[in-house]
A and B are shown apart, each in its own frame.
Chain A
Amino acid sequence: MTAFLRDLKTASLLTLLLALLLGGAYPLAVWAGAQLCFPRQANGSLIRDADGTVRGSTRLAQAFPGPAYFHPRPSAAGAGYDAANSGGSNLGPTSRALADRIASAVTAFRVENHLPPSAAVPADAVTASASGLDPHISPANAALQAARVAQARGLPLARIRAMIAAATEGPDLGCLGDPGVNVIRLNLSLDASPMLP
């Protein structure tokens, strides 16, 4: 029993010391290094207006309604694209709710992009991502949305395709991961191009 009490004392002292070192000094050291070397990333890769208003992050999807923007993947984060409540749908492979949701998303994707009713739809366009904040869509998905956006903005299709290519990221080191089109960067470049009158 005395041995256990002595252990409890050692454990308490060590826990407090480690709380200071690992719960205090360690995150502060990383914070200092991060703010010094990589301030943009450490603060969320935020997009700001000229007046400093935060408009989003280049790494996090947000809702882009309407035909004139490329649409990100469906989101199950909060009420949709909630960057303070990330998450997926967690619906399983035999879920009726999931099958129904995918069926209506497939129809909507074909209608808004003027595709024939039999056209195969890229899976990423109609499935919710894991985080609900996936900033990427597949190149195939972007290609199918390009004509709609070009029409809505009165821009030549070739111009839109060049923007898609410029917003495509990956694979890292030439082999890691799948290539993805960053929807936020793509839509930012759209807004930076003047529409035809």
Chain B
Amino acid sequence: MNAPLDWLQLALFCGVLLLLTKPLGLYLSQVLERGRTWLDPIVGPLERATYRLCGIEADREQDWFGYTISLLAFSLVGLVLTYLLLRGQGRLPLNPQHLPGLPPHLAFNTAVSFATNTNWQSYSGETTLSYFSQMVALTIHNFTSAAAGIAVAAALVRGLARHSVRTIGNFWADLVRVTYYVLAPLSVVLALFLVAQGTIQNFQPYVAVRPLAAGTAGAPKIAQGPMASQVAIKMLGTNGGGFTNANASHPYENPTPLSNLVQMLAIFALPSALTYYLGRVVKNQRHGWAVWAAMFLLFLAGVLVTWHAEAAGNPIHQRLGLVAADGNLEGKEVRFGIFNSALFATITTDASCGAVNAMHDSFTPLGGLVPLFNIETGEVIFGGVGAGLYGMLVFVVLAVFIAGLMVGRTPEYLGKKIEAYDVKLVMLVLMVLAATILGGTAWAARTDWGRAGLNNAGPHGFSEILYAYSSAVGNNGSAFAGLTASPADGDPHYDVTLALAMLVGRFLMIVPLLALAGNFAAKRLVPASAGTFRTEGPTFVVLLIGTVLLVGALTFLPALAVGPIVEHYLMGAGRLF
């Protein structure tokens, strides 16, 4: 433990994130608003060829309904393709370990998981999936589910910025441009950097090893594969599905503290830049920065709580004779230590990434509560690529509405009246998501199949279930990984219910939001008056943070009380389960 150095690392991370926000935001604006970029000479011809080949009229903008239908059609096709590839894995190439096809429920869960940008891993990477499945079936979703998320955010931002029109952009053009101009080039650079740090990228079969120490039993093997290419996009696209079971804690996936820092920045870079894009498109840069500030303060609070809880450690273990100053190291890697494990856990759940460099299941109760709560806010603290911004805009609309109620005026946001229809859509989103999380948790906790999957007893077991449904609905994908969702006896309940929760979390969020975008685009502008609530500056930031915390706290506090909160006090009392 070296506290001053840890503070320095925190400052370094925050500083670099802040510095990246504007340039990357400007670049995103060029890509999404069809401007010129410096990649045009190389990527432009490929982009136009793609439009020709697929019959895309990129210049014809769509209304919200057309945009939604295109997005749903694209998601459906990708989901079906991945399901079929996973089922037929045994007959496909690049499978040196001769891994068989996945059973139906696991293939369904995995296909949904990647199509919805969740990347929950019901499977264990190196023992279940062939190189072909990882490369083709999963990696395309890592790109396209991320690009689709950014597309939806862009459509919503356009809806807010425009007035008296019906169209909000072209889904296909948004998808292709984000993939070609942003995600793919950044991924190539990041992947090569990770290889330089020690991440593998090969197609060899698992390597047989003769252990260094004589007399070691067994015939160990080392898993190999095209890892770096997948890890790069799993971070940039806030996907989070690891190549290996251990995800970003595996020394191949995240070899050094430097690779760890860059991976954390890769998670937050695009969501942070999208707030700049928001400010630019609605022509109110201070509003963009106000949203950024609200996200940043929520992020900082989460880091400090998790860091403190993990550094304080577990009094039960300390009484057994551990060095108390070492903190809680169960499920953590030495090279990351307490601080970088706490920082990564906060970032990956603020965003909808879900990659882990430490096992959240083994965190202290309060250290594990923060990731859980982050997910339950709807992952609006920077959030998933695109998903974070459109999720936060839900809260912005709600905050402005509440402010309007408080001063007794018709609420206005960016020069437009917020009306009953808008608030109904926003509340629909919030209530459906909360009901799915809490309903799924309650159902699983009361059934035999739900309790059979647990790795821990007592309140921690309940936390495992709550985390699973929160992670699925939030499209996060991290887990209290002790929970066995795909048991050896083939019980499909968890796989299927979690997959349905992911679908609800993705599409019952996106569809109402695109409807909201269409409704906002059609509104007329009303001139700002003295009574207009200003959506910039500290008052707005505080109100926005309050709205996020209030909705999250009121909805989930009872469930958190019987999970991590009660466990915290039981741990203090030395109770074991």
Taking CB atoms, residues of chain B closer than 8 Å to A127 are 317, 329-332
CA distance A178 to B8 in the complex (A): 13
Binary interface profile of B, 343-366, with partner A (CB < 8 Å = 1, else 0)?
Answer: 000000000000011110111110
Minimal Cβ-Cβ distance residue in B for A171: B257
CA distance A110 to B322 in the complex (A): 11
CA distance A59 to B224 in the complex (A): 13
CA distance A42 to B198 in the complex (A): 7
Check if B118 is an interface residue, CB within 8 A of chain A: no
Check if B165 is an interface residue, CB within 8 A of chain A: no
Check if B200 is an interface residue, CB within 8 A of chain A: yes
Contact A83 B220 (CB under 8 A): yes
Check if B555 is an interface residue, CB within 8 A of chain A: no
- Once A123-B322, A171-B5 are accepted as A-B contacts, the answer to whether A8 and B256 lie under 8 Å apart by CB is no
B404 to chain A, nearest CB (A): 37
When the two chains form the complex, which single residue of B206, B334, B480 contacts A134, counting CB atoms closer than 8 Å?
A: B334
User: Which of the candidate stretches B103-111, B134-142, B468-476 sits at the interface with the other chain?
Assistant: B134-142
Contact A94 B575 (CB under 8 A): yes
Minimal Cβ-Cβ distance residue in A for B132: A23
Taking CB atoms, residues of chain B closer than 8 Å to A157 are none
Taking CB atoms, residues of chain B closer than 8 Å to A60 are 222, 251-252
CB contacts under 8 Å to A, within B537-577, are 567, 570-571, 575-577
CB contacts under 8 Å to B, within A29-82, are 29-31, 33-35, 37-38, 41-47, 49, 53-57, 59-60, 62-66, 69, 73, 77, 79, 81-82
Contact B460 A180 (CB under 8 A): no
Check if A145 is an interface residue, CB within 8 A of chain B: no
Number of interface residues, chain A, beta carbon within 8 A: 110
CA distance A136 to B334 in the complex (A): 6
CB contacts under 8 Å to A, within B173-220, are 175-176, 179, 184, 187-188, 191-192, 195-204, 206-213, 215-216, 218, 220
- Once A15-B78, A23-B140, A65-B216 are accepted as A-B contacts, the answer to whether A90 and B195 lie under 8 Å apart by CB is no
Contact B229 A30 (CB under 8 A): yes
Contact B456 A42 (CB under 8 A): no
- Once A83-B221, A130-B359 are accepted as A-B contacts, the answer to whether A19 and B188 lie under 8 Å apart by CB is no
- Once A7-B69, A15-B78, A187-B212 are accepted as A-B contacts, the answer to whether A26 and B195 lie under 8 Å apart by CB is no
CA distance A54 to B204 in the complex (A): 14
Contact A94 B333 (CB under 8 A): no
Contact B191 A44 (CB under 8 A): no
- Once A13-B53, A18-B144, A41-B198 are accepted as A-B contacts, the answer to whether A92 and B139 lie under 8 Å apart by CB is no
Minimal Cβ-Cβ distance residue in B for A190: B212
B167 to chain A, nearest CB (A): 15
Check if B270 is an interface residue, CB within 8 A of chain A: no
Taking CB atoms, residues of chain B closer than 8 Å to A83 are 209, 220-223
User: Which of the candidate stretches A98-106, A146-154, A158-166 sits at the interface with the other chain?
Assistant: A98-106
Contact B455 A55 (CB under 8 A): no
Contact A130 B333 (CB under 8 A): yes
Check if B440 is an interface residue, CB within 8 A of chain A: no
Contact A94 B197 (CB under 8 A): no
Check if A12 is an interface residue, CB within 8 A of chain B: yes
Contact A92 B482 (CB under 8 A): yes
Contact B211 A56 (CB under 8 A): yes
Binding site for B on A (CB under 8 A): 3-4, 6-15, 17-19, 21-24, 26-27, 29-31, 33-35, 37-38, 41-47, 49, 53-57, 59-60, 62-66, 69, 73, 77, 79, 81-96, 98-99, 102-103, 106, 110, 118-124, 126-138, 140, 169-173, 175-178, 180, 184, 187-188, 191
Q: A33-B188, A176-B261 are in contact. List 4 more A-B contacts (CB 8 A).
A: A15-B74, A93-B460, A93-B571, A106-B322
